[in-house]
Structure 1
Amino acid sequence: MHSPNATPPTDTSRTTTPHPGHTRSGARAGTPDAATRHAGTPHAGNPHARNGQAALSVLVGNTPVLYVGEPFAPQGRGFYAKLEGFNPGGIKDRPGLYMVERARARGDLEPGARIIESTSGTLGLGLALAGMVHGHPVTLVTDPGLEASMTRLLTAYGAQVNVVSEPHPTGGWQQARRDRVAQLMRQHPGSWCPDQYNNPDNTTAYTPLALELATELAHIDVLVCSVGTGGHSAGVSRVLKQLYPGLTLVGVDTIGSTIFGQPARPRLMRGLGSSIYPRNVAYDSFSEVHWVAPAEAVWACRQLAASHYATGGWSVGAVALVAGWLARTLPEDTRIAAVFPDGPQRYLSTVYDDDYCAAHGLLDSPPASEPEVIGRLDEKEVTRWSRCTRVVDPLTLGRDAAEDDR
């Protein structure tokens, strides 16, 4: 599934700082070589535990790349999709493992202490994996929007799932979940919260993904990422911009998300967007942002499934829609990489369920051929696929407006 034309870049280890989960020779976290880096952990004296850790951790990373052309772009044009759904639980297996490893190394997470975190699902899978690898009980706080199948899966993996019943008056479900996390941490002294929205380890965890892309594609002009916590867009682009200084980063958000300055609204799409302002979002790295509506993401997901036998959830559909448009409109030799965060399994009762989609008006018509363009992030409330090329921290929008009026 890798591009037959992709060749490794020249010694990427010389231009980027090696990630703690990689050796200069490319050994991945969880291999015997990488495991020796954490000799001070409780697993170090137990060869059976260490072997078990390696067997689980080695499943994460080195995901394939798929070239996506028609029907998203005309013949001869397309983009390269990094299929993170090939990880056991999706893209957030990477930060789930890495944030826990770093917290243990610093002493922030004591042996056997409980991990408590808010999640819309995918990070929960990564933390359940990390808890199993390192021997920590895991409590995941979610909301009624989490699919029943995902709740059952998280429980099967040993996590306790705690569901909030009411959204926060201004911060929505996300803030309600965070408030519950704080409450549970008071009830469990010594527990630890990764705080994925603001934890810099969340971004650093994606260094291996960036190096994998560089090896698989040799050169990248444009990177397309969905944005939720801001972790993978910041982490991957930071490394790739060292390798390819001219790289363009395109962010993909959902309507109703506040990340890029839009008003908070109830959101149908999970896995991207936010009703808070995560500190991990690297606003100054984005050249443009696109907002995508649920029906548009559903269309793209189903087109991917029908044409490429590789698809995913809301984020995947939104990213594919935008990456396809870029492939149609940018010069033909532009090399575009898009990150597909997950696979389709958890979305069989939503994105791929005709009754669900019909009930929410998601099958009415295909998306427009191009996005609506707005000049400022807060120029208007977007309700369909839209684009803005002036990306700033939304907390500065009021100040910028005042300066524009002078």
Structure 2
Amino acid sequence: MNKVALDDPPEIPAALVAAPVAARRPHALVGNTPVMWIGAPMAPRGRGFWAKLEGFNPGGMKDRPALHMVRCAEQRGQLAPGARIVESTSGTLGLGLALAGMISHHPVTVVTDPGLEPIVARMLAVYGTRVEVVGEPHPTGGWQQARRERVTELLGSEPGAWCPDQYSNPDNVDGYESLALELIAQLGRVDVLVCAVGTGGHSAGVARVLRRFNPDMTLIGVDTISSTIFGQPGGQRLMRGLGSSIHPANVDYAAFDEIHWVAPAEAVWACRTLAATHHATGGWSVGAVALVAGWAAGVHDPDTRIAAVFPDGPHRYFDTIYNDTYCTEHELLDADPPTEPDTIAHPAQRIVRSWTRCTRVVDPRQAAPIDGSML
């Protein structure tokens, strides 16, 4: 029988070489998310930034810290086998905890508020998660404080239940190390990092690791108007996923070089513009971060490597950001395209109502409230 000799083996298609590994369990799908170049019209022509597309995780960016916090609590003996996990969430961490509970055999209860999108509530229920909705905001701490107080009640009613406390748990911060190391592998270096700020976890965790490679890296924080995180007074907020009515302990104020506050209509414009021009888009945080990162691409030198974290994808926002009726009811479609932020010298200079930046970052727990005397 004749044998066929091959001088050169057949070439393996590049697409197969770069294919993700086969996953036997769902948590193996977390991480190794792509980065994508975002240029005009989000940035001036010829400029742009790299977007880390965390919506490629099963539930979004917070899959990473959810898995990490649960794993660490089990290793320390804080979370006993089969014990319930109870946490406050606006949605994304809830999805991550649903995944973590599923693979580690812990029942999960999430406490949320009426702003949770119906699709997220339904998916959490399908994943086997118990969803509790608080009925009224706290008089001073808003929905977040109301949720946290309900978490405390639930913990007291079920011995052995454990709360990750994403607002102050250092494991939340450490859970983003993988994201930072992926950025280094993908981009080589990062000169400017743009992050939304809610619990403070990913801005602190990613920046801390990236500064091991580039100590001079600039960190730009993105908040929403009516958020208390950086010294503005709290108020009713339309945007979810960033901002806060409390002061999370995980916010690393000293790490930030500047902060930006963004209004809902500006974030909607950015989300819809991303969808129409780049296909990659997401929720409130994505729009706000893209707006600021595009501006940063225009004011920094052309060779500055800018990375922005896009925490999720668009799917849960079909009834809000991508719903014309909703946006019309909330007057989110009539604003002119935002071009650049206003600037204030101190976070307490005045109450901001639209895109505004400040290069002085203070810890509001140690600062006086807005009264006009801070200048």
TM-score (norm 2): 0.92
Matched, 1:307 2:277: yes
Q: 2:165 aligns with which of 186, 189, 195?
A: 195
> Which of these residues, 341, 350, 353, is aligned with residue 323 of structure 2?
353
Aligned partners of 2:45 and 2:370: how far apart in 1?
42
Aligned 1:365-404 pairs, distance under 5 A? 365-398=335-368
Task: Tell me which residue corresponds to 1:118.
Answer: 88
Write out aligned runs for 1:235-246 (5 A).
Answer: 235-246=205-216
Larger Rg: 2
- 1:373 CA displacement: 0.3
Give the secondary structure class of the aligned counterpart of 1:356.
helix
Q: Deviations over 1:324-371 (max 9, x none)?
A: 001111111111000000000000000000000000000012343110
Q: Does 1:101 align with 2:71?
A: yes
Deviation at 1:321, TM superposition (A): 0.2
Could you say if the C-alpha distance between residues 230 and 392 of structure 1 is closer, same or farther in structure 2, counting changes exceeding 3 Å? same
Question: Which residue of structure 2 lines up, in the alignment, with residue 82 of structure 1?
Answer: 52
Supply the distance in 1 between the matched residues of 2:44 and 2:167 (Cα, whole angstroms).
38
- 1:287 to 2:257 alignment: yes
What pairs with 1:171-190 in structure 2 (closer than 5 Å)? 171-190=141-160
**Over residues 119-140 of structure 1, what are the superposed CA-to-partner deviations in whole Å (9 max), with x where a residue is unaligned?**
0000000000000010000000
Spell out the pairing of 1:142-221 with structure 2 (5 A cutoff).
Answer: 142-221=112-191
Q: Does the CA-based 8 Å contact 2:350-2:370 persist in structure 1?
A: no
CA–CA separation in structure 2 for the residues paired with 1:306 and 1:400: 39
Residues matched between the structures, number: 356
CA distance in 1, matches of 2:370, 2:40: 41
For normalisation by structure 1, the TM-score amounts to 0.85
Residues 33-112 of structure 1 aligned to structure 2 (within 5 Å):
55-112=25-82
The 2-side partners of 1:196 and 1:361 are apart by 33
The whole-number CA distance in structure 1 between the counterparts of 2:310 and 2:339 is: 21
Deviation of the 1:243 alpha carbon: 0.6
Q: Secondary structure at the match of 2:29?
A: coil
Alpha-carbon distance in 2 for matches of 1:303, 1:357: 15
Question: Which amino acid is 1:289 matched to?
Answer: I
Within the candidate set 228, 233, 247, 2:217 is matched to 247
CA distance in 2, matches of 1:103, 1:204: 13
CA distance in 1, matches of 2:198, 2:45: 32
Match of 1:265 among 222, 225, 235: 235
Residue identity in the other structure for 2:324: D
Identity of matched residues, %: 65
Q: Which residue of 2 aligns with 1:230?
A: 200
| Counterpart residue type for residue 141 of structure 2 | G
RMSD between aligned residues: 1.9
**Against the structure 1 CA distance between its residues 131 and 79, is the aligned structure 2 distance closer, same or farther, given a 3 Å change threshold?**
same
In the alignment, what sits opposite 2:4?
A: none
Inter-partner Cα distance in structure 2 for 1:85 and 1:318: 15
State how far apart, in whole Å, the 1-side matches of 2:253 and 2:176 are.
17
| Structure 2: runs of 5+ lacking an equivalent | 1-19
> Which letter maps to 1:392?
V
1:328-343 residue pairs with structure 2 within 5 A? 328-343=298-313
Q: CA deviation at 1:149?
A: 1.0
Match of 2:165, SS state, is coil
Aligned equivalents of 1:404, 1:158: Cα separation in 2 = 50
Q: Distance in 1 between matches of 2:205 and 2:128?
A: 29
Distance in 2 (CA, whole Å) between partners of 1:112 and 1:243 is 40
**Aligned counterpart, 2:334:** 364
The CA deviation at 1:402 is 12
For 1:128, which of 80, 98, 102 is the aligned residue? 98
Q: Could you tell me how far apart the structure 2 residues matched to 1:401 and 1:346 are?
A: 38
Partner deviation per Cα, 1:245-290 (whole Å, 9 max, x = no partner): 1100000000010000000100000000000000000000000000
How many Å separate the matches in 2 of 1:259 and 1:90?
22
Q: 1:320 aligns with which of 267, 273, 290?
A: 290
